[in-house]
Amino acid sequence: MFTYKMPTELFVGRGSSKQTGEKLKGLGGTRVILITDNGVLQAGILSGIEESIKSAELPYVIFHEVEPEPTIQGVEAATRMLKEFSADIVLGIGGGSSMDTAKAVAAMAVNEGKIFDYVGFGLVKKQPLPIVAVPTTAGTGSEATFWSVLADKTNDIKASVGGWNIMPVLAIVDPELTLSLPPRVTAATGMDALCHAMESYVAKSTQPISEGMSIRAMEMIARSLRRAVNRGDDIEAREDMLVGSLVAALAFNVTRLGLSHALAIPFGAHFHIPHGVINAILLPWVMEYNLPAATEKYITIAKIFGENVDGLAPCDGAKKAVDAVKKLLSDIGLTEGLKDWKVTEGDLEKIAKEGILSGNVAVNPRLAGVKDLVEISRRALNGLK
Ligand SMILES: [Fe+2]
């Protein structure tokens, strides 16, 4: 038995963000809070969107202090701004940080207490304000997921608030907004998207609908990530990456992920490694660990990456998928290891004990314990250099 549900309307295409204002109005919004970060603000990405909001004659305020790792403190500050301005619709523009903040702010506009009172799934009771999400990176897929991942900067704790009712009512997915992303951000966020597609595909919880989406997302990312990183103005590559990351999110939202994401949260919280980078560091070693449990699937992945598996024993064919991801990482300049982020062997047990508590462990194709997570992380210490 399985269900597939997707309550977010997806409006996709080059230039689509120029219709943001009328879309907000169509959803019944009369006063808008735009939530973003300083990078997006300074990159000039917002001009077309702001113009459209002005032509729709909607008053708006901008909260632009979202941090790279979004915090509950940021959520509180933005919620105060929302209430002072009496906004009735929340527009999150940016990477996962801004969109996750927007989800939390929309929830806290109408619910009591603090956002971390709602850690878990389905605990946000009162219907949040409508959320419109506009991604400017091709990675997290947060525009179409029901998670808001937040950190408490006072104690390095990272936790997720989830629920169907914090999903955006509308995602506006415009590849033109990603044209100015620097190569390293393109590489890291692109690897996050690839990791989503792949972890969902091999997960125990996979189902025919999500599986089809995972395969399509991997195809788009495999053919376009190198180009998007090394030739940033290539709109076709950018479009593949942005739509690929969206499609990957449509897959993993219903399946959850795997061991890379189980470990990515504690490594991110304690060592402040960007989410895409930590997934890129871990993915080849998680794949290697999972090979015996999902051999056929890794053979399919190898083929998606153009590897020749003809005449090979299944286990050798599956290993080609790991080789393909290592080659990709090398071509996009992400060869670092955990040591480059000051992680030592002595840190691994603590991280593994936190990682094992993630809901992503249960759906990983191969059963894993704390020792396995330590071993995977140990292999990732040196990276691929
Ligand atoms: Fe992710």
The domain that contains 160 carries what CATH number?
A: 3.40.50.1970
**pLDDT one-digit tens code per residue, 267-326:** 998 999 999 999 999 999 999 999 999 999 999 999 999 999 999 999 999 999 999 999
- Where is the domain boundary, 178, 213, 242? 178
| Whether residue 116 sits in one domain with residue 29 | yes
What's the pTM value of the predicted model, to 2 decimals? 0.95
* Residue of 244, 333, 239, 202 lying closest to 280 (CA atoms): 333
Looking at the domain assignment, is residue 3 inside a domain?
Answer: no
| Residue in the block written with tokens 């309550």 | 7
Distance 30 CA to ligand 1 centre (A): 33
**pLDDT one-digit tens code per residue, 77-125:** 999 999 999 999 999 999 999 999 999 999 999 999 999 999 999 999 9
Looking at the domain assignment, is residue 67 inside a domain?
Answer: yes
CATH number where 237 lies: 1.20.1090.10
As a whole number, mean pLDDT of residues 333-352 equals 98
Q: What count of residues does the chain have? A: 385
**pLDDT one-digit tens code per residue, 176-207:** 999 999 999 999 999 999 999 999 999 999 99
pLDDT of residue 157: 84
**pLDDT > 70 in the chain, percent:** 100
| Whether residue 204 sits in one domain with residue 90 | no
| Whether residue 348 sits in one domain with residue 201 | yes
| Residue in the block written with tokens 């002072």 | 84
Distance 335 CA to ligand 1 centre (A): 18
CA distance between the termini of the chain: 44
- Where is the domain boundary, 118, 153, 178? 178
Distance 71 CA to ligand 1 centre (A): 17
| Whether residue 350 sits in one domain with residue 267 | yes
The number of folded domains in the chain is 2
Distance 228 CA to ligand 1 centre (A): 19
Q: Is the pLDDT of residue 155 over 90?
A: no
Distance 26 CA to ligand 1 centre (A): 31
**21: containing domain:** 9-178
Q: Is the pLDDT of residue 34 over 90?
A: yes
Q: What is the DSSP letter of 284?
A: H
As a whole number, mean pLDDT of residues 121-145 equals 97
Distance 177 CA to ligand 1 centre (A): 20
Two tokens at 226?
């190198």
DSSP-derived pairing of the beta strands 32-35 and 89-94? parallel
| Whether residue 225 sits in one domain with residue 103 | no
Distance 260 CA to ligand 1 centre (A): 9
Q: Is the pLDDT of residue 248 over 90?
A: yes
For 37, the enclosing helix (H) or strand (E) is none
Looking at the domain assignment, is residue 273 inside a domain?
Answer: yes
Two tokens at 203?
């997960």
Strands of the sheet containing 131-135, edge to edge, are 9-12, 170-173, 131-135, 89-94, 32-35, 60-63
Q: How far apart are CA 54 and CA 20, in angstroms?
A: 10
Whole-Å CA distances, 104 to 33, 123, 130, 267:
13, 12, 11, 22
DSSP-derived pairing of the beta strands 131-135 and 32-35? unpaired
| Whether residue 304 sits in one domain with residue 209 | yes
